[in-house]
Amino acid sequence: MLYCVEMDVRIPSDADPAHIDNLKAVEKARSQELQRSGEWRHIWRVAGRYANVSIFDVADHDRLHELLSTLPLFPFMDIKVTPLARHPSAID
Domain ranges of the chain: 2-84
The span from the CA of 15 to the CA of 59, in Å, is: 35
User: Topology of 2-84 in CATH?
Assistant: Alpha-Beta Plaits (3.30.70)
Tell me: the pLDDT tens digits for 55-84? 999 999 999 999 999 999 999 999 999 999
The span from the CA of 59 to the CA of 61, in Å, is: 7
Letter for the amino acid at 35? Q
**12 φ/ψ angles, rounded to the nearest 5 degrees:** -60, 145
Q: Record the pTM.
A: 0.92
Tell me, what's the pLDDT at 25?
98
The answer to whether the CB of 38 falls within 8 A of the CB of 58 is: no
What does pLDDT average to over the chain? Answer: 97
